[in-house]
Amino acid sequence: MLLKDEVQMLRRVPLLAGIDQTKLKLLAFASERISYREGEVLFNQGDPGDAAYVILTGKADILVNSPDGKSQIRVAEVEQNSLVGEIAILCDVSRTASVKAATEIEALRIRKDDFVKMLTDYPEMTIEVMRVLADRLSQTTTELTEARSLAKQKPN
């Protein structure tokens, strides 16, 4: 894929839509394009957060370890134009979930240093990241509330 095509794909990512084309070219050039087959893991829960990934094509499952650690629970699905892996980068913590290709995936791997530089250079991107994270937190809170309500309704 040509650099200009990658820039156009990056522009479709809501988080990056407002970024100047020249800066998107630099980001695309600095990023690593990676292909994953269905079932391949992009990263595992607990891994160091060294990069974020933009899903260019395909879908991926977001998985968290069960409390006993013996299985994984699918908590979300992401698709084209989604960003994954940013929480570990922003919070400087290990990965909070695993991401596994649900279909074949083409992705751009953005190194932590490059991602942080973009946030520093573009405050509007930082605001968009906060909005995306707040939306995810709101959704998680709603799901947790529903799960607790269902658990209380079950007889002991």
To the nearest 10 degrees (0 to 180), the angle between helices 3-11 and 21-30 is 110
Instruction: List Cα–Cα distances, 130 to 4, 66, 73, 125, in angstroms.
Output: 28, 27, 25, 9
65: DSSP letter: E
Residue type, 5: D
pLDDT of residue 156: 62
Q: Which pLDDT band, with edges at 50, 70 and 90, does 119 fall under?
A: confident
Domains of the chain: 3-153 (2.60.120.10)
Phi-psi domain of 46 (left: phi exceeds 0; alpha: psi -120 through 50; beta: other): left
Least confident of 11-20, 36-45, 85-94: 11-20
pLDDT of residue 50: 93
Residue of 51, 131, 40, 124 lying closest to 88 (CA atoms): 51
Instruction: List Cα–Cα distances, 9 to 1, 57, 105, in angstroms.
Output: 11, 9, 14
Phi-psi domain of 81 (left: phi exceeds 0; alpha: psi -120 through 50; beta: other): left
Mean pLDDT of 143-155: 83
pLDDT of residue 1: 67
Least confident of 1-5, 121-125, 126-130, 145-149: 1-5
Residue of 58, 106, 105, 107 lying closest to 85 (CA atoms): 107
Judge whether residue 92 has pLDDT over 90: no
**Cβ-based neighbour number of residue 143 at 10 Å:** 12
pTM, to two decimals: 0.82
